[in-house]
Structure 1
Amino acid sequence: MSPTVFFILLALLAGFSVPTQAGINAQLNLWTRSPVLASAISFAVGTLALVVYTLVARIPLPSLGTLSGHPWWIWIGGCLGAFFVASTVILAPKLGATTMVALILAGQMVASLLLDHFGWLGYPLHPISLGRIAGVLLLCAGIWLIRYF
């Protein structure tokens, strides 16, 4: 299997996990009666899985001495992940999987356009173009179709 095919399949699998995880966490929310607690439990289980994998794979920890060479905002990713998971716990039962994922995807596309255009967070520069804007607008039209039909 070529690396490109592997990465395409990995992206599709990651995409498949978004509505699946949201549905599972929404069910967990019914038991906990708190989207924040359901998200915390989900994150705790995920963290445990990653720690076990790290130990089994013998992945070495980075040196604390090299920390000063990295930007302060590298720590925010976990907070954004927590916000995302808690948001999907709230949104999944309100919007349904298709509308929720379509709206999330629209937000991801707008953010991606800006990140690529300005090269923020280390992304390579890819200027905003009419074709890219048209793609996002078509996605928004798709969201409208999904939501109202």
Structure 2
Amino acid sequence: MNQTTFSVLAIIGGVFLAAQGALNSTLSVLLKNPLLASVIAFLTSTIFAIIFVLLSTKSLPNASDLKQIPIYLWFSGGLFSVLGISLYYYTIPKLGISTMISFGLFGQLTFSIIAGHFGWLNLPLEPVTFKRILGFFVMMFGIILINVK
């Protein structure tokens, strides 16, 4: 696949994340519990992921491959997911979806620029450049415009 295809897929992924946030925040309000909505979302996500793995995977990792995975990788992503998603479900009904997503995007952009620059979490190095800083500030200006009432 080429860069354009990956970019389109990333955009579609963003649409799916915003839509699931909207749907599951409504579930959170109706259940009166964002953590319960997260449990339901992750449970159904697990079911769908298992189905997709069964349909698309030719072979599963063997025991020696599994032993080489650091312990923290088995739970840290899930912990951050449930915290982040639950915060989405909690704040979307209070802030509105565009405000919440734009603030969430601010957090993602800020962390990704810093983490990419330093190669944190085994990420490829992406040095901070003038163009990246300019892009960051243009995005921040857009977020401010989205949120000005």
Q: Confirm or deny a common fold (TM above 0.5).
A: yes
> Where in structure 2 are the equivalents of 1:56-75 lying within 5 Å?
56-75=55-74
What does residue range 53-92 of structure 1 map to in structure 2 within 5 Å? 53-75=52-74, 76-92=76-92
TM-score by length of 1: 0.88
Equivalence for 1:10: 9
Q: Which amino acid aligns with 1:28?
A: L
Structure 2 counterpart SS, 1:125:
coil
Residues 29, 93 of structure 2: 8 Å contact kept: no
Which residue of the partner structure matches residue 115 of structure 1? Answer: 115
In structure 1, C-alpha distance between the alignment counterparts of 2:78 and 2:28, rounded to whole Å: 20
Q: 1:58, CA displacement in angstroms? A: 4.2
C-alpha contact (below 8 Å) 2:26/2:93 kept by paired residues: no
Structure 1 contact 18–101 (Cα < 8 Å) conserved: no
Give the gaps of 5 or more residues in structure 2. Answer: none
Report the AA paired with residue 143 of structure 1: I
Structure 2 letter corresponding to 1:122: N
Partner of residue 52, structure 1: 51
Instruction: Identify if the C-alpha distance between structure 1 residues 87 and 124 changes in structure 2 by more than 3 Å, giving closer, same or farther.
Output: same
Structure 1 vs Structure 2 CA RMSD: 1.7
Distance 2:13 2:134 in 1: 25
Query: Please, which moves more after superposition, 134-143 or 7-16?
Result: 134-143
Name the structure 2 match of 1:41. 40
Unaligned stretches of 5+ residues in structure 1: none
After alignment, is 121-130 or 28-37 more displaced?
Answer: 121-130
Percent identity (aligned): 32
In the alignment, residue 98 of structure 2 is paired with which amino acid? T
Q: How many residues align?
A: 148
| TM-score of the superposed pair, with normalisation by structure 2 | 0.88
CA distance in 2, matches of 1:28, 1:87: 14
Q: Which moved more, 1:132-141 or 1:36-45?
A: 132-141
Does 2:90 align with 1:98?
no
1:19-34 correspondence to structure 2 within 5 Å: 19-34=18-33
CA–CA distance in 2 between the matches of 1:50 and 1:70? Answer: 20
Aligned equivalent of 1:134: 134
Query: Which amino acid in structure 1 is aligned with residue 142 of structure 2?
Result: G
What secondary structure does 1:115 align onto?
helix
Moved more, 78-87 or 68-77: 68-77
